[in-house]
Amino acid sequence: MSLTDMAIARIRELIQSGELQPGSKLPPEQQLATELGLSRNLMREAVKALAVSRVLEIRRGDGTYVTTLEPALLLEGLGSAVELLQSDTLLELTEVRRLFEPVATGVAATRISAAQLGEVERHLDAMRESRDDPERLNAHDAAFHREVIAATGNRTLATLLEGISSRTLRARIWRGMVDDDVADRTVQEHEAIFDALCGRDAALAQAAALMHVTTTERWLREHMLAD
């Protein structure tokens, strides 16, 4: 572990122990460095690194604060990383999605509100009208799943799944699926998910979502990895 990594670990310990709460202001740089037994330069480097990872926020002329530490903030870089993954890793990522998304969809079936169902239906209607417009279809496909997962009320899960189901990843997969003329089948899969959500049937919603994700995974195995 480098000296900078050690400095980062010290600050993280203060946050994890509750000494530094979300939204709280850090002591002045020199004071904190002295308290932790670190040089001022090391402290400065550690603060910069934690600011990049959105753990800390540097406010010019005011000081350094602990961020809200919300999942959406700390995990927001996941989507950008996903976009850079190669074909073999994309398959692993799809397997992760298969493990999480169907279960999350089942949970959503027991928690989704009427207003949230209305939003899901709105995106489904848009998908039906966009069979010949891959870009628009892809956008509403992603939004459909985003609304479903948001209905779980689990912000960490929603952020993780949003990261691995980023628009770029969906677009890359969707282009190939459109080439294979499976738009109608994909819309049908979303209709099955929606019907299960309307029926508040967790088991059926989970099964429908599993079928949908498995279709994508199968396409990846048969086409993208064969290139």
Q: What is the domain range of residue 150?
A: 74-226
CA torsion 59-62-64-66 (nearest 10°) is -80
Mean pLDDT value across residues 196-203: 98
Specify whether 39 is located in the same domain as 117.
Answer: no
Tokens of 205: 């919603």
The band of 167, judged by pLDDT with boundaries at 50, 70 and 90, is low
Q: Domain count for the chain, please give it.
A: 2
- Residue 174 CA: distances (Å) to CA of 6, 68, 112: 44, 35, 27
Specify whether 87 is located in the same domain as 48.
Answer: no
Domain boundary among 69, 98, 123: 69
Q: Is the model more confident about 71 or about 115?
A: 115
Q: What is the CATH number of the domain that holds 48?
A: 1.10.10.10
Residue 45 near residue 4, CB atoms below 8 Å: yes
Specify whether 21 is located in the same domain as 51.
Answer: yes
Question: How far apart (Å, rounded) are the C-alpha atoms in residues 205 and 209?
Answer: 6
pTM of the model: 0.78
In the chain, the amino acid numbered 77 is G
Q: Is the model more confident about 54 or about 122?
A: 122
Residue 212 near residue 193, CB atoms below 8 Å: yes
Specify whether 34 is located in the same domain as 122.
Answer: no
Specify whether 35 is located in the same domain as 78.
Answer: no
pLDDT digits (tens, 9 = 90+) for 34-72: 988 889 999 999 999 999 989 999 999 899 999 999 988
Taking the CA atoms of 202, 203, 204 and 206 in sequence, report the sign of the dihedral they define. Answer: positive
Domain boundary among 24, 49, 69: 69
**Has residue 222 got a pLDDT over 80?**
no
Specify whether 140 is located in the same domain as 54.
Answer: no
**Has residue 86 got a pLDDT over 80?**
no
**Has residue 225 got a pLDDT over 60?**
no
Tokens of 45: 């480097």
Q: What is the CATH number of the domain that holds 103?
A: 1.20.120.530
Domain boundary among 69, 97, 117: 69
**Has residue 180 got a pLDDT over 70?**
no
